[in-house]
Amino acid sequence: MSINQTFEEAKKRVSDLRDLLDKYGYHYYVQDKSVISDADYDRLYKELVELEEQFPNLVSNDSPTQRVGGTISSGFEKVVHDIPMLSLGNAFDENDLIEFDNRIKKLTDKPFSYICELKIDGLAIALKYKAGKLVLAATRGNGTIGENVTQNIRTVKSVPLRLKKPYTIEVRGECYMPKSSFVVLNEEREENGEAVFANPRNAAAGGLRNLDAKETAKRNLSTFFYTVADFGEMTANSQEDALKELDELGIRTNHERKVCETIEEVWAYIQSFLDKRTQLPYEIDGIVIKVNEFEAQGEIGYTVKAPRWAIAYKFKAEEGTTVIRDIEWTI
Ligand SMILES: NC(=O)c1cc2c(=O)c3cc(F)ccc3oc2nc1N
């Protein structure tokens, strides 16, 4: 066969393999569903690696084989957030929520509902996609200036290197370490005589802000996204719809979310998580309550520091237990 014919065949096969691996990766890392055995996945992955080695100019940086870069960064570039990454006001009891509800009712006469989301205890990140390709990932930093952690985020399997549609958007979310990975990591560090991490959030921060992306890749980090900073081609008019659109684009969102018509319903939802919280495979430190409709959000607006249309109900410090070796510590 002529080299061209082989090249054309290889190009087609590389494209098919990428689509397959992206699809299986999406089910496994974004939807937590495995639709193919690990052995079959590895076989397809190996075939793609071999074809890309044989035809180097078929390699593109959105290939699943290109997640872990080889170079070690000397430092993190600074990134200016075009839209500041703000923080949330806090509520600590039912009365704080009722006051929040009263404030909202004074600030808009449009009909509105609330949406409740779990408050993931991780590291806030912003991702930029250009025509569906991941082009930049940055930490929150001080809200205006963050760090460029693109090479590190690319190693996080739940982050799509390309979206299901060629959208140009910016999304924000939380990068976190699952509880199970946290326990294993601390056991390893304990055995190696290294300092253990106090909580999964610190372990995620240490993993993400590591100058060697190969280290990040070992930390088994994951993500949940919850905010769209630049909507690009997205058409959602509410937080609920925006989260659905993100799901359709292949971006991982947390499905423990509920639209509530009244603050009483919000309170009931919060109560329901007081127990469920310890069963979750990731740490949460509260529930975020947001006005669901974007038109009402626009009318309610922002303070300098935070959106007026959202509040974080904070749980009391978790009476969790972290097993370090065979000793149980209650923290
Ligand atoms: N940790 C979280 O799980 C979480 C955090 C935020 C924010 O920090 C946040 C900050 C804003 F300025 C606006 C909306 C937000 O929505 C959020 N929603 C969430 N689910």
ipTM entry: 0.99
Q: Separation of 88 CA from ligand 1 center, angstroms?
A: 7
Instruction: State the pTM of this model.
Output: 0.91
Contact 227 CB / ligand 1 (< 6 Å): yes
Q: What is the pLDDT of residues 158-213, one digit of tens each?
A: 999 999 999 999 999 999 999 999 999 999 999 999 999 999 999 999 999 988 99
- Find out whether 173 and 117 touch, Cβ atoms under 8 Å: no
Looking from the CA of residue 117, the nearest atom of ligand 1 is 20
Q: What is the pLDDT of residues 275-300, one digit of tens each?
A: 899 999 999 999 999 999 999 999 99
Distances (CA, A) of 158 to 10, 161, 227: 27, 9, 16
Mutation pick for ligand 1 pocket among 226, 280, 315 (CB with most ligand atoms within 8 Å): 226
- Find out whether 101 and 263 touch, Cβ atoms under 8 Å: yes
Contact 123 CB / ligand 1 (< 6 Å): no
How far apart are alpha carbons 151 and 80 in whole angstroms? 17
How far apart are alpha carbons 22 and 33 in whole angstroms? 13
What value, to the nearest 5°, has the Cα angle with vertex 291 and ends 289 and 293? 145
Looking from the CA of residue 86, the nearest atom of ligand 1 is 12
Low-confidence ranges of the chain (pLDDT < 70): 1-5, 318-331
| Active-site residue list | 119
